[in-house]
Every structure is written in C-alpha cells, then in structure tokens.
Amino acid sequence: MKNTLLQPEGWVTPKGYANGVAARGTMVFTGGQIGWNAQQQFESDDFIDQTKQTLLNVRAVLEAGGAGPEHLVRLTWYVVDRKEYNARLKELGAVYREVLGKNFPAMACVQVAGLMEERAKVEIEATAVVPDA
C-alpha cells in the first residue's frame, strides 16, 4: 500500500502540506534535527541556510533507516521566529523542494521561545512509513 494523502471532502486543499496521511509499513522516526552539520557545528546563522541543513539532516536519518522523502507522513517544525518563517516562505519552499522534493506530508509548525542549541533557529522531527513490499 502506498502512503495516501487524506483530504476531507469540501475542504480547501492545503499548500505545502497534507491534512493527513494513511500509511502501512515500517515506521521510521527521527529525533529533532537542527541546522548543524554532521560534526555538530553550525555553518550559518541564516534561517534558510539552517533550514536547508536541517532538512538534509532529516533526509540522512531517513536514509539510514531505509526511507526517503517520499515515505514522509509527518513533519513537526519548531521555529524561534514565526515572522521570519512567514516572511521567507518563498525561499523556504524552494529549499524544501530542493532537499525533499514534492513530498508534502502532514505538518505542524510551532513557534517556540528557544531551542536547546542556542544558535538553532529551526528544529524538525519527522515520521516516515516505508510501505510493505
């Protein structure tokens, strides 16, 4: 069974995410990923740069579990500045598609007062389901 997007009848189709996803198979969960590299070093303090690295980190953990962006069923984003997030949506969308393609799972985005790593501007948790063969 392929993962199926859930769209209640009569609802406006969301842009950039799904209202829900039905899936069956092997579940892969990531811990919260932030915008540092594999050596846990930040290369930039720019929101978009950190988001790209965060998404690359999510993708790397998925791949380690035998999954890919096409298997994503849920993303939870934690951002420290919702105004910057909203002001840079066009750039954000381009980086998202570059790293994860046109895979838009169920998502939530929450503004938080801060993240555990002081320089982090975004943290993302992911859930993927690899369909049974």
Which residues are catalytic, by number? 109
Give kind and range of the element (H or E) at residue 72: strand 72-79
Take residue 22 and report the two structure tokens written for it.
């039905």
Return d(Cα 106, Cα 50) in angstroms, integer: 21
The 10s digit of each residue's pLDDT in 22-58 is 999 999 999 999 999 999 999 999 999 999 999 999 9
Look at residue 95 and tell me whether its pLDDT is greater than 80: yes
Mean pLDDT of the chain: 96
CA–CA distance, 73 with 128 (Å, rounded to integer): 5
Residue 130's CB is within 10 A of a number of other CB atoms, namely 19
Q: Is the pLDDT of residue 1 over 80?
A: no
Count how many residues are written for the chain.
133
